[in-house]
Amino acid sequence: MYRFLLRPSWIGLFLAAVVVAVGCLGLGRWQLDRLESRQERNAAVASAQSAEPVPATSLLSTDQPADPSTQWRRVSATGRYDIDREILLRGQLDNGRAGFHVLTPLVTDDGTALFVNRGWIPIDRTGDATSVPDVPPPPDGEVAVLGRVRQLQPVRAARAVPAGDSMTLASVDLLRLADGLPYPMFSAYVELLEQQPSGQAQPEPLAAPELGDGPHLAYAVQWFLFSALGFVGYVMFARQEAQRRRVTPTSAAGHPSR
């Protein structure tokens, strides 16, 4: 009754089911690999954030790239904000709202600068992402800051846009920024967690990094289920064809039924 499965059309259908299954299994394994990578990243972030804060000078330097292990570590520094060289990082989202990150150099007592991301502010009412919103000034005088280390972001093909007394950028390219500064600068910046004195009407604090596993496990399960669908369809078509041949044996054809 099932000898028709040896016909070329049915062999081709079976091979197609095999190809689909192999592809879906590969995608499922890829999602599991992404899940494992995310869990390793989350563990590293959690470990870094739970470590005791240390002075920025103990982890960062001005002449060497920041070690990847310093990402998300908490560091402290004391100095004075240089408001004249503040940078606005445009194209930043916060819960679906567009805005800017405010990066201000903190010039420490030894003359080295640490860029501090003071937080997020929305675009102004015009909705123009290159125009400058009202930026709350940092505290005057000496300020003690605590922040988490962030490394350089990939540089996008976007030029700096002058904007009043500040400048807006599309990415954090500290190496290029350092060329125009009158002081040495650390090769990483920090996201502000605390500062003393705190000042008034400061930018909104940046959210902590997301440590969830994401949808990777659910996607993997879906791909593994999809890998079986080709064979399920093949079996269903074969049973339908066998049933049709059982009812009308003299008119049986060697192709999958519609």
pLDDT per residue as tens digits for the range 22-79: 899 999 999 999 999 888 888 888 888 888 899 999 888 888 777 888 888 999 999 9
Cβ count within 10 A of residue 125: 8
Residue 171 confidence (pLDDT) above 60: no
Strands (E) across the chain are located at: 54-55, 74-81, 87-94, 97-108, 113-122, 142-150, 161-163, 166-169, 189-196
Q: Are residues 35 and 84 in the same domain?
A: no
Residue 132 confidence (pLDDT) above 80: no
Residue 230 lies in a domain: yes
Q: Domain ends where: 169, 196, 223?
A: 196
Q: Are residues 169 and 79 in the same domain?
A: yes
Range of the domain at 14: 1-72+211-258
Is pTM beyond 0.75 here? no
Residue with the bigger pLDDT between 236 and 195: it is 195
Q: Are residues 108 and 157 in the same domain?
A: yes
Are 117 and 189 spatial neighbours (Cβ–Cβ below 8 Å)?
yes
Q: Domain ends where: 173, 196, 219?
A: 196
The answer for residues whose C-beta is within 8 angstroms of residue 8's C-beta and 6 or more apart is none
Are 216 and 224 spatial neighbours (Cβ–Cβ below 8 Å)?
no
Number of domains in the chain: 2
Cα–Cα distance for residue pair 54/205, rounded to 1 Å: 21
Are 191 and 89 spatial neighbours (Cβ–Cβ below 8 Å)?
no
Are 115 and 193 spatial neighbours (Cβ–Cβ below 8 Å)?
no
Q: Are residues 191 and 110 in the same domain?
A: yes
Q: Are residues 145 and 251 in the same domain?
A: no
Q: Are residues 225 and 243 in the same domain?
A: yes
| Percentage of the residues of the chain whose pLDDT score is greater than 90 | 22
